[in-house]
Amino acid sequence: MSNSTLNITISDSDIYYISAINFANKLISQYGMGFIWFIGNLGSILMCIVFTQPIYRNSPCAMFFLAASISQFFTYNFALFTRMLSFAFAVLTLNYNLWYCKVRFYLFYIFVALPRYYIILASIDRYFASSHHVLRRQRSSSKVAFRLIFGNVIFWCIIYIQIIVFYDIESGTCTYRAGSYGMFFSIYITIDSGILPLLLMLVFGSLTVANIRGSKMRINGDAGLRRRMSKKDIQLHRMLANQIVLFIILNMPNPIYLIYSSFTVNMSKSALQNAAETLISNMTYMLIYFGFSLAFTNFMFSSDIFRREFIQLLRTKVFRQTSTAIRNGA
C-alpha cells in the first residue's frame, strides 16, 4: 500500500493502530460501561429507597438528592445504554433513522443535565440553609425545592429543543449541523456541561464552607443556631461536598476535550487521529457516568445516618427482622 497520498491511502502501521484503538474502545465500552450501568442502576434504586424514608422526607437537600437519583436512573438506562449499544456492540440505528437520531440526542442531553443541575441546586440550598440570615434560610424549604425540581425538568426540555431542529445525519453519523451552528453548539455544550457546573459548584460550595465556619465561631452563644445545625444537616453538607469533589475530578476531562474539539472541528484529520479522538471522547463521557454511579458509595461513606437507614432497610425488608430485634442487636 502506498504511503505517498495523504488522507487517501493509509499505511499498514496506521491500519494496525486504528484497529487496536477501535478494539480497545470496544472492550472498554463493553466492560467499563457495562459495570457502570450495573452499579449505577443498583445505586440509584437504593438511593431512591433511602431518601424516601421519614428522616429525609422534609429535607430540601435530600429532595434534590432523590430527584438526582431518579434522573440518574434514566441516564443509565437511556443515555448510557444507547451509548453502550453504539460503541460496544455496533448498533448504529441512530445513524440511519433521522427521528431516532434527533430524539435520542434530545433525551440524552436532558437526562445528563438533570442530575448535574440537581446537585448544583442542592449546593445552593446548603448555602441558604447554612446562612445566619433568617431570610436566606427561609429559601431553604421543601416547597421551594419541589418547585425547583419540576422547574429544572421544564427548563432543560425547552433549552434542548434546538437538538430536534439542528441535529442531522451527515456522512452516516448523527451529529449537529456543520458551520456556524456547529461552532456555537460546541462552545455552548462546553460551557453548559463543563465550565458552568464546575464554577457554580465551586462558588456555592465555598460559600457554604464559609457559612459553616462562621457558624462554628458563633455556636457557643447561639442556642438557636445549635439546634439548626443538626447532625443530619452537617452530614448532608458532607455528602454534598464529597459529591462536588467527585464531580469536579471526573467531569474535568470532558470540557477540556470539548474545548479542544470546538477549536479543531474544521481541521482536516487523519483516520488514526479520528480513531484516537473517538476513544478519548468516549472515555471522558464514561468518567461522567462513573461519577454518577459513585453517588451511593459516597453517601454510604459520608453519612452514618444514611448508612444506618440503609442497613435498617436491609434488615427489615430483606432479612425480615422486626424493629424490636434490631433494637436488641439481633
CA of residue 321 relative to chain centroid, distance: 35
* Per-residue pLDDT reduced to its tens digit, 190-206: 888 878 988 998 899 88
- Whole-angstrom distance, CA of residue 204 vs CA of residue 64: 15
Burial label for 322, CB within 10 Å (0-12, 13-18, 19+), is exposed
How many helical (H) and strand (E) elements, i.e. helices and strands, does the chain have? 17, 2
- Whole-angstrom distance, CA of residue 155 vs CA of residue 250: 25
Burial label for 14, CB within 10 Å (0-12, 13-18, 19+), is middle
**Domains of the chain and CATH, by start:** 12-327 (1.20.1070.10)
Q: Of 158, 75, 163, 164, nearest to 118 (Cα)? A: 75
Q: Name the average pLDDT for the chain.
A: 84
| pLDDT at residue 229 is higher than 80 | no
pTM (2 decimals)? 0.85
Cell numbers standing for residue 233:
444537616
Cell numbers standing for residue 262:
470546538
* Per-residue pLDDT reduced to its tens digit, 237-270: 889 889 988 988 898 888 788 778 777 777 888 8
| pLDDT at residue 328 is higher than 60 | no
Average pLDDT over residues 105-134: 90
Q: What is the DSSP letter of 192?
A: I
